[in-house]
Structure 1
Amino acid sequence: MKVLKFGGSSIGDDSRINSVVNILERNYISKNEKIAVIFSAFQGVTDKLIELGNLAYLRNQLYKEKYVE
């Protein structure tokens, strides 16, 4: 079994997600190879969560508005 990890920028938009799917299908799925696939957060999500956490920690209510974005 192989473990494959794809980072945020490699799944940053539809075309990149499709590229990852094509890589998986061509190199692993079509060969019936067992794989585990791990994805990190989409591009920008981790930074957004840190920003929201910091605002909430400071009791800045702006985090509620930014969360909805």
Structure 2
Amino acid sequence: MLHMNRYGDTAHGPALEGYEEAYSRFRESQGMRPKSWQNAVHESATSLAYLGGRKQLHQMVKERGFQLR
């Protein structure tokens, strides 16, 4: 079954707010800097800096003699 563009704009609101609160508490308990979950997801999807050098991982592995497809 195919459903195209059937996401509601408001249904996720309460769940997202609860998750943001839990995410913030976890980060604080671990001594991590404050950051929202929404911001973390956005950064990971839009910034190569988030990869922390992993964008060259494939080439590095090949250079070390591992055969990759």
**Could you tell me the TM-score, scaled by structure 2's length?**
0.32
More strand per residue: 1
Q: Which has the higher contact order (CA 8 A, sep 6+)?
A: 1
The structure with the larger Rg is: 2
**Could you tell me the TM-score, scaled by structure 1's length?**
0.32
